[in-house]
Structure 1
Amino acid sequence: MTAYVTDEQIQQLAATARPFSLAELRWAPARHREGAEAIEREHQRRMVSLRAEGVIAILCPVASDSVAGIAIMTVPTDQAEEIMAADPCVQAGMMTCDILPCFGFPGDTLPG
């Protein structure tokens, strides 16, 4: 860590924080059920569609045997819970999803 950050800079950044919802998807015991590949493909199609619509700001699949992925969603937590409860993998018992309120800073992006 080389950049020194002042208390004033922290306060200025904190003042720009906006609410988001963080969806944490975890693999469940039914991950390898019959037909799982087709169900997961529909999950992927839906997640990419939500991203294209702006409902998901950042989509991060995770290469793990426990965590399937995370998504930072632009909707309130109650709406995010409804959206993710309708996910094909969640409904099939292949994934579970926890929604957490979080804050982000406008303009933050992933490096290109």
Structure 2
Amino acid sequence: MTSPVSDDDMRRALAATKAYTAVILHQGPAYGTPDAGPVLWEHGRRNFALRTDGTLNIVCPVADDTTICGIGIMDTDIDTARALISEDPAVKAGILTFTLHPVRSFPGDRLA
């Protein structure tokens, strides 16, 4: 059972939200090609670096049969996110494409 949440609790929490950028990665035209594997490995290495420096807060590879490959939450504005993701090796190689979405969330949210 969940704990009750008052209107005042909600107002305080909503006032503390922060802007982030959601990144949705999609299969690109070179997805699944023989050369994709090593490039995707370097894409992953880059994600680890972005996680370490605090720019990429949440990384979720998508494991279903859709054309969506991953979802990420970046602690940056949309223009900075676009510049960073545009330099991703898998994006540059056409293996992945992306869409960006301005979102708000609660600082400190995390995966369990």
Q: What is the one-letter code of the residue matched to 2:22?
A: L
Q: CA deviation at 1:11?
A: 0.8
TM-score by length of 1: 0.90
5+ unaligned residues in a row in structure 1: which ranges? none
2:6 aligns with 6
Query: Which residue in 1 is equivalent to 2:21?
Result: 21
Shift of 1:6: 2.2
Does 2:71 align with 1:70? yes
Deviation of 1:105 (Å): 0.7
Cα distance, 1:63 vs. partner?
0.8
Aligned to 1:87: 88
4+ runs deviating over 2 angstroms: 1-6
Note if 1:104 corresponds to 2:105.
yes
Partner SS state of residue 5, structure 1? coil
Identity %: 36
Between the two proteins, the alignment pairs up a number of residues equal to: 111
Q: Normalized against structure 2, the TM-score is what?
A: 0.90
What do residues 54-73 of structure 1 show as CA deviations (whole Å, max 9, x unaligned)?
A: 11111111112321111111
Residue segments in structure 2 that go unaligned for 5+ positions in a row: none
The more displaced of 80-89 and 59-68 is 59-68
- State the Cα distance separating 1:3 from its structure 2 match: 3.5
Q: Which residue of structure 1 lines up, in the alignment, with residue 58 of structure 2?
A: 58
